């Protein structure tokens, strides 16, 4: 496979995943705030700030936020690189230049996805369409994942896409944890350890589509400890950082199984990070969530750079 | 089906002065179309409206689009597809196919001669100036033997039917002819929309193009290569024909590369893969000569590969079509085609050539200047229907402008009588009815040292604007599925 | 008597914005021919980028360099040793040179064989009605070409910095100044207009005798004299090319003979600096 095309496929995977998480974050936060149990969590300003924080553009404390503008910026603004429309558009551009390698079905779905987003009326989006648009985006990304799994040969092309998807997933989940951790500090719960019992942990789980399964697993109301454990360390939770790392590791090894012995390889690096989290306890993390977040973001970024050097640089 | 009972041909307005493919001179539906006419007659216009929209959405969603460049912005458009197929009977096709093969063979011999002994120039059959003043003649190719002796691996011959009922060749496209992917997607679209009609006809398949292309390309692999690696070289995803490039790569199962994916080392060409460099042996390029190698040709080209021409000259890589073929699809060379065919093959041309006036010749220039209104004036080396003036559609000022251009650079233009392209019933969206529209036919030929293959089908292009004679997609043309019937 | 020449060529390139993927091609290796034989070729670059010998489209030896790493500066250094036989440009029998006869030059075989050096190129196309040199039918081809050489020498004033490598003759003739490329293009343009095949030559000039040519590569012209073959004319110095002219390559015009071609993609400007030094030992 051409190095440039591998790069395109990798980023196609990443942008599809990024679009999904951004869209769901908007959806979940906006709509769970409507009937949140306390006034902070209900406040529109609080929600908009959280959204801006996620996309890496936190608002100044003094700044007065305009709902339409914030929604437009994160959803539809072509001039704002992390916007949903841009993620979809970049995903399609990357797919287009690798179009001869992916299935017609996958390309057609991405193309339809793009045309849906591209023709969605901006006004409708900020006024009444937020739910419809973001739900549609998360649905369509699920379809795309299905097409990736179901219509591509499970060879190096598939491995590269899945590495992009999973690396981005680990990254986005970490960023979402970061944003919601931040929110939980601002909007504590009403009983016991108020930080641990914040309503925001529930929202966090919903942002990761993991609420129901977490309830099934722990059989109790989410608190900080079990939420973080589930989303970071549980290898059976499909959205967890641990699972994402396991997936990246699995796919990087299919590219070249022998590379794992090479200390400078991506495979070695991923294996090392993965091993570290495999034997971590949530108590080690909960003490200093901030440090964990910085650490894992760093590691993920290094994996990305390593991949770039090993596979895409020519 | 639909409640609207207007059948589709009730309002068909047949102009008897035009050659309508559907009707014989007595106004009766021809034998090959009879069944189709009956079948389509059962549908109502409302059905058509619906089917047409579905077909359009399908093309759009699949991203079978091209980009049109204008001064303001670049638009993504689908190539309009018409649901009424064009049918070519077995005998007629045989005539076309043998004529096209004959031309391709003659052109290849002509190119070999131009870059070797140049006998045809020595014998005065084609004037020396025609070749030496052509910007597409590459001095660097003199004495170079392309693998297998093949220059024109891929040709796209444009054919029309005049109102005398005869076929004429309009152009021999032997640089990077495009359109073959539309032949295949048109067939797919028609099958999806109206699969029933195929039960009543025995049409040749068109899906065998890619395999034939790959097979023939592999017969001209560089010497010493056992199993060759072939790639398609594209200018990139912003090129108007990118869909076709990716389509061809995909159906041949080869890599689609851009210039930046390739590099030259020790005069061999390699592509950059995730597992390191991989040698490339055959390049089906879809970029023009001038952009192939910035060290040899246009130095500002970012589409090509530095050192590619050196690798080619050494015989380490095959480039298809060979560099320098453009000299022979010059519209001024076109006019000599009958002589070129006789010269190399000692045969009479099977397909007709359109009478052409060379503006570089003084007496012919005078004739053209006086008869602009009856002629089509074309630039010699522009593709895509740009710069064409059709005499009877020009205003007085435009006529003056053409005269001025002709006097300023006569070598740049040729002129031909205005042909009356045959017409074919075509669904027109605006009026929601079937109307006569002018059509042509682009055939696709691939040629190797041992054999050549003409795709049994081709792209019937249709000028969608009423009365318009230019069928190119960049000029608002559409296309039809084209059936070649089995014997 | 044969001379041993040592030629040093250096080029320094600077890019305002770092470039990643870049290729350069050098057409600087002296040609091996009847009067020139190479003893030694050295080539190196400051980045240790991979390089190889190759050929350009007309068969002349090139050095191609490809760099894959980010850089803002790169310098190249080449050294050649070459033995040059003594050339006497006047060692011929003048009686073998036929008188100038434009009709003989119209012979189809002759024109076909030399069409490459007969057709105008963007850099050698003469403007119309310039009152340029006209061949004298009373004199033979060689005499006419020698007169042309002198005419060009006088027509232009040698002035560096006014013209570039892609200045067309129309402009050169307006300002009547230029450097060796312009002198050579003018000579070639006029010779071709008279049906004489003429080609552009790039090479090195040994500066020992104070010729114009700078510490740069030099350019002159070769014209096909019927009865004699290709002869070198150096209109910049009003000379026939001789022992001090070390040929590298010829082509239709400068564009075929550029000593360095770079394919570099990046923003911003770049600066390039070349130096040539030719020394001789007998």
**Per the CB < 8 Å rule, is A160 touching B255?**
no
Chain B nearest-CA distance from C266, in A, is 11
Each residue's pLDDT tens digit, A259-301: 777 888 899 999 999 999 999 999 888 888 889 999 999 999 9
What is the Cα–Cα distance from B158 to B156, expressed in whole angstroms? 6
**Considering only A52-66, B136-150, B307-321, B472-486, which range has the smallest mean pLDDT?**
B472-486
B253 and B331 share one domain? yes
B246 and B390 share one domain? no
Among candidate residues B322, B380, B336, B384, the one with its CA nearest the CA of residue B175: B322
- Is residue B268 within 8 angstroms of chain C, CB to CB? no
What is the Cα–Cα distance from B400 to B402, expressed in whole angstroms? 5
Average pLDDT over every residue of B325-333? 87
Chain B nearest-CA distance from A221, in A, is 45
Residue C7 pLDDT greater than 50, yes or no: yes
Q: Higher pLDDT residue, A83 or C3?
A: A83
Band (pLDDT 50/70/90 cuts) for residue C99 is confident
Band (pLDDT 50/70/90 cuts) for residue B5 is very low
- Is residue B409 within 8 angstroms of chain C, CB to CB? no
- Residue C98 is given by DSSP the state P
- Is residue B273 within 8 angstroms of chain A, CB to CB? yes
Each residue's pLDDT tens digit, B403-412: 999 998 888 8
Give contacts of B247 with chain A, Cβ < 8 Å.
Answer: 100
CATH of the domain at B400: 3.30.1490.270
What is the Cα–Cα distance from B369 to B367, expressed in whole angstroms? 6
Please say which residue of B378, B393, B417 terminates a domain: B417
Minimum-distance CB partner of A2 among B62, B63, B271: B271
**Per the CB < 8 Å rule, is C55 touching B310?**
yes
Chain C nearest-CA distance from B261, in A, is 11
Give contacts of C265 with chain B, Cβ < 8 Å.
Answer: 302
Average pLDDT over every residue of B7-23? 84
Q: Higher pLDDT residue, A195 or A161?
A: A161
Mean per-residue pLDDT of chain B: 89
Give contacts of B258 with chain A, Cβ < 8 Å.
Answer: 4
Band (pLDDT 50/70/90 cuts) for residue B68 is low
* Contact criterion met (CB below 8 Å) for B111 and B327: yes
Domain(s) labelled CATH 3.10.620.30 in chain C stretch across 94-256
Average pLDDT over every residue of A58-82? 94
Average pLDDT over every residue of A152-159? 93
B229 and B280 share one domain? yes
pLDDT confidence of residue B212: 96
Say what the alpha-carbon torsion angle B468, B470, B473, B474 is, to the nearest 10 degrees.
Answer: -100
Average pLDDT over every residue of C248-258? 96
B274 and B404 share one domain? no
Among candidate residues C99, C178, C179, the one with its CA nearest the CA of residue C141: C99
pLDDT confidence of residue C260: 93
Highest mean pLDDT among B65-79, B304-318, C203-217: B304-318
pLDDT confidence of residue C240: 93
* Chain centre to alpha carbon of residue A4: 24
For C23-84, the three-class secondary structure string (H helix, E strand, C coil) is EEEECCCCCCECCEEEEEEEEEECCCCEEEEEECCCCCEEEEEEECCCEEEEEEEEEEEEEE
pLDDT confidence of residue B7: 66
Give contacts of B132 with chain C, Cβ < 8 Å.
Answer: 115, 118-119
Each residue's pLDDT tens digit, B434-459: 899 999 999 999 999 999 999 999 99
The pair of structure tokens assigned to C83 is 């033995």
pLDDT confidence of residue B383: 59
* A99 to chain B: closest CA residue: B246
pLDDT confidence of residue B1: 36
Average pLDDT over every residue of C162-186? 94
**Per the CB < 8 Å rule, is B272 touching A3?**
yes
Please say which residue of B400, B417, B434 terminates a domain: B417
B278 and B337 share one domain? yes
**Considering only A34-43, A140-149, B201-210, C229-238, which range has the smallest mean pLDDT?**
A34-43
For chain A, the three-class secondary structure string (H helix, E strand, C coil) is CEHHHHHHHHHHHHHHHHHHHHHHHHHHHHHHHCCCCCHHHHCHHHHHHHHHHHCCCCCCCCCCCCHHHHHHHHHCCCCCCCCHHHHHHHHHHHHHHCCCCCCHHHHHHHHHHHHHHHCCCHHHHHHHHHHHHHHHHHHHHHHHHHHHHHHCCCCHHHHHHHHHHHHHHHHHHHHHHHHHHHHHHHCCCCCCCCCCCCCHHHHHHHHCCCHHHHHHHHCCCCCHHHHHHHHHHCCCCCCCHHHHHHHHHHHHHHHCHHHHHCCCCHHHHHHHHHHHHHCCCHHHHHCCHHHHHHHHHHHHHHHHHHHHHHHHCC
- Is residue C8 within 8 angstroms of chain B, CB to CB? no
Q: Which CATH class is domain C3-85+258-281?
A: mainly beta
Say which CATH topology domain C94-256 has.
Answer: C8orf32 fold (3.10.620)
* Chain A residue set in contact with B, beta carbons under 8 Å: 1-6, 93, 96-97, 99-101, 104, 107-108, 111-112, 115, 156, 160, 255-256, 311-312, 314
Q: Higher pLDDT residue, B169 or A313?
A: B169
Which residues make Cβ contacts (< 8 Å) with residue A271, sequence separation at least 6? A249, A260
pLDDT confidence of residue B410: 87
Place of tokens 């003018």: C186
B255 and B389 share one domain? no
Band (pLDDT 50/70/90 cuts) for residue B2 is very low
**Per the CB < 8 Å rule, is B236 touching A97?**
yes
Give contacts of A5 with chain B, Cβ < 8 Å.
Answer: 255-256, 261
Q: How high is the ipTM of this complex?
A: 0.93
The residue segments making up the domain with residue B330 are 92-157+205-345
Domain(s) labelled CATH 2.60.40.2250 in chain C stretch across 3-85+258-281
* B267 to chain C: closest CA residue: C54
Give contacts of C56 with chain B, Cβ < 8 Å.
Answer: 295-296, 310
Among candidate residues A84, A95, A80, the one with its CA nearest the CA of residue A25: A84
- Is residue C261 within 8 angstroms of chain B, CB to CB? yes
B289 and B401 share one domain? no
Band (pLDDT 50/70/90 cuts) for residue A136 is very high
pLDDT confidence of residue B74: 56
pLDDT confidence of residue B254: 96
Residue B72 pLDDT greater than 80, yes or no: no
Minimum-distance CB partner of B313 among C57, C252, C265: C57
Determine what percent of chain B is predicted with pLDDT higher than 90: 58
What is the Cα–Cα distance from B82 to B52, expressed in whole angstroms? 8
**Per the CB < 8 Å rule, is A115 touching B61?**
yes
- Phi first, then psi, for residue B243 (nearest 5°) are -55, -45
Residue spans of alpha helices (H) in B124-197: 128-132, 180-194
**Per the CB < 8 Å rule, is C55 touching B309?**
no
Residue B4 pLDDT greater than 50, yes or no: no
**Per the CB < 8 Å rule, is A100 touching B275?**
no
Write the burial class of residue C91 (CB in 10 Å: 0-12 exposed, 13-18 middle, 19+ buried): exposed
Band (pLDDT 50/70/90 cuts) for residue C264 is confident
Between the CA of residue C282 and those of C29, C35, C87, C204, C247, what are the distances in Å? 21, 15, 14, 17, 19
Band (pLDDT 50/70/90 cuts) for residue C56 is very high
Domain boundaries, chain A: 3-312
Average pLDDT over every residue of B3-10? 58
Each residue's pLDDT tens digit, B380-434: 776 556 778 888 888 899 999 999 999 988 888 889 888 889 999 998 888 888 8
Please say which residue of B371, B387, B417 terminates a domain: B417
B339 and B364 share one domain? no
Q: Higher pLDDT residue, B4 or C130?
A: C130
């Amino acid at each position: 496979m051409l190095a440039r095309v591998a790069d395109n496929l990798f980023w196609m995977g990443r942008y599809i995943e990024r679009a999904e998480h951004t869209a769901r974050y908007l959806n979940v936060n906006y709509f769970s705030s409507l009937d949140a149990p306390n006034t902070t969590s209900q406040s529109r300003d609080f929600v908009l700030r959280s959204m801006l924080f996620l996309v890496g553009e936190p608002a100044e404390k003094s700044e007065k936020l305009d709902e339409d503008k914030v929604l437009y910026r994160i959803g539809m603004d072509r001039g704002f690189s992390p916007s949903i429309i841009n993620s979809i558009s970049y995903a399609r551009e990357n797919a287009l230049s690798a179009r001869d390698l992916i299935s017609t079905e996958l390309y057609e779905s991405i193309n339809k996805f793009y045309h849906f987003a591209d023709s969605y009326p901006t006004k409708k989006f900020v006024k009444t369409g937020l739910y419809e648009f973001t739900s549609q985006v998360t649905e369509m990304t699920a379809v795309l994942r299905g097409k990736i799994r179901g219509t591509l040969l499970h060879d190096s092309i598939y491995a590269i896409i899945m590495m992009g998807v999973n690396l981005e997933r680990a990254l986005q989940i970490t960023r979402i944890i970061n944003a919601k951790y931040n929110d939980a500090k601002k909007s504590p719960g009403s009983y016991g350890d108020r930080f641990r019992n914040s309503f925001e942990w529930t929202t966090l789980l919903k942002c990761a589509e993991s609420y129901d399964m977490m309830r099934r697993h722990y059989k109790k109301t989410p608190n900080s400890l079990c939420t973080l454990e589930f989303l970071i360390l549980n290898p059976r939770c499909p959205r967890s950082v641990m699972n994402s790392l396991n997936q990246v590791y699995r796919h990087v090894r299919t590219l070249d199984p022998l590379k794992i012995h090479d200390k400078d390889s991506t495979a070695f690096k991923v294996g090392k990070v993965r091993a570290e989290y495999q034997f971590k306890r949530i108590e080690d993390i909960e003490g200093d969530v901030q440090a964990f977040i910085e650490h894992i973001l760093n590691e993920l970024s290094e994996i990305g750079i390593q991949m770039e050097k090993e596979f895409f640089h020519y | 089906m639909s409640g609207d009972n207007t059948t589709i041909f009730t309002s068909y307005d047949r102009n008897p002065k035009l050659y309508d493919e559907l009707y014989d001179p007595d106004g009766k539906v021809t034998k090959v179309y009879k069944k189709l006419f009956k079948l389509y007659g059962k549908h109502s216009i409302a059905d058509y409206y619906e089917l047409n929209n579905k077909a359009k959405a399908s093309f759009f969603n699949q991203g079978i689009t091209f980009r049109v460049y204008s001064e303001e912005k670049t638009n993504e458009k689908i190539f309009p597809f018409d649901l009424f197929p064009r049918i070519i009977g077995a005998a007629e096709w045989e005539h076309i196919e043998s004529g096209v093969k004959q031309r391709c063979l003659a052109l290849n011999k002509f190119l070999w001669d131009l870059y070797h002994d140049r006998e045809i120039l020595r014998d005065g059959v084609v004037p020396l100036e025609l070749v030496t003043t052509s910007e597409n003649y590459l001095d660097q190719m003199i004495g170079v033997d392309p693998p297998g002796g093949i220059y024109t691996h891929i040709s796209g011959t444009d054919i029309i039917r005049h109102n005398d009922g005869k076929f004429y060749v309009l152009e021999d496209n032997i640089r990077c002819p495009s359109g073959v992917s539309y032949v295949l997607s048109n067939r797919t679209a028609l099958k999806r929309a109206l699969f029933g009609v195929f039960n009543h006809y025995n049409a040749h398949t068109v899906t065998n193009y890619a395999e034939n292309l790959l097979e023939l390309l592999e017969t001209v692999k560089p010497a010493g290569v056992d199993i060759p690696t072939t790639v398609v070289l594209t200018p990139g995803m912003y090129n108007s024909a990118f869909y076709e490039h990716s389509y061809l790569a995909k159906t041949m199962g080869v890599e689609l590369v851009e210039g930046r994916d390739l590099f030259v080392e020790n005069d061999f060409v390699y592509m950059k893969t995730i597992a390191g460099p991989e040698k490339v042996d055959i390049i089906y390029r879809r970029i023009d000569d001038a952009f192939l190698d910035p060290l040899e040709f246009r130095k500002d080209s970012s589409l090509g590969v530095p050192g590619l021409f050196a690798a080619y000259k050494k015989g380490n890589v095959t480039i298809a079509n060979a560099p320098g073929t453009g000299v022979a699809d010059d519209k001024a060379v076109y006019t000599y085609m009958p002589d070129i065919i006789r010269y190399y093959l000692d045969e009479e041309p099977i397909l007709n050539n359109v009478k052409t006036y060379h503006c570089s010749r003084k007496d012919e220039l005078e004739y053209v200047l006086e008869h602009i209104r009856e002629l089509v004036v074309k630039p010699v080396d522009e593709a895509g229907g740009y710069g064409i003036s059709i005499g009877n559609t020009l205003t007085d000022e435009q006529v003056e402008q053409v005269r001025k251009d002709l006097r300023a650079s006569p070598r740049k233009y040729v002129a031909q009588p205005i042909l009356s392209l045959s017409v074919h019933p075509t669904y027109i969206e605006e009026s929601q009815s079937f109307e006569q529209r002018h059509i042509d036919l682009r055939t696709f030929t691939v040629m190797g040292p041992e054999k050549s293959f003409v795709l049994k089908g081709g792209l019937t292009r249709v000028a969608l604007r009423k009365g318009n004679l230019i069928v190119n997609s960049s000029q608002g043309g559409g296309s039809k599925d084209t059936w070649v019937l089995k014997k | 008597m044969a001379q041993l020449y040592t030629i040093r060529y250096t080029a320094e390139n600077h890019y305002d914005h770092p470039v990643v993927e870049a290729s350069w091609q050098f057409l600087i290796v002296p040609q091996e021919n009847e009067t020139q034989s190479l003893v030694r070729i050295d080539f190196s670059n400051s980045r240790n980028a991979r390089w190889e010998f190759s050929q350009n489209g007309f068969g002349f030896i090139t050095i191609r360099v490809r760099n894959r790493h980010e850089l803002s500066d790169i310098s190249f250094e080449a050294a050649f040793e070459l033995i040059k036989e003594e050339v006497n440009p006047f060692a011929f029998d003048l009686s073998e040179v036929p008188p100038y006869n434009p009709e003989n030059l119209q012979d189809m075989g002759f024109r076909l064989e030399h069409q490459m050096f007969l057709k105008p190129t963007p850099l050698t196309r003469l403007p119309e009605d310039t009152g340029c040199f006209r061949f004298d039918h009373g004199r033979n081809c060689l005499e006419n070409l020698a007169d042309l050489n002198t005419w060009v020498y006088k027509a232009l004033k040698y002035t560096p910095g006014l013209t570039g490598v892609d200045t067309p003759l129309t402009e050169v003739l307006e300002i009547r100044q230029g450097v060796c490329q312009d002198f050579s293009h003018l000579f070639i343009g006029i010779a071709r207009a008279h049906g004489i095949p003429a080609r552009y030559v790039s090479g090195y000039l040994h500066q020992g005798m104070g010729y114009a040519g700078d510490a740069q590569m030099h350019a002159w012209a070769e014209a096909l004299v019927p009865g004699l073959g290709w002869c070198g004319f150096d209109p910049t110095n009003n000379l026939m090319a001789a022992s001090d002219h070390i040929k590298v390559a010829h082509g239709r015009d400068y564009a075929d003979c550029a000593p360095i071609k770079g394919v570099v993609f990046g923003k911003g400007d770049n600066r390039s600096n070349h130096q040539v030094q030719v020394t001789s030992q007998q």
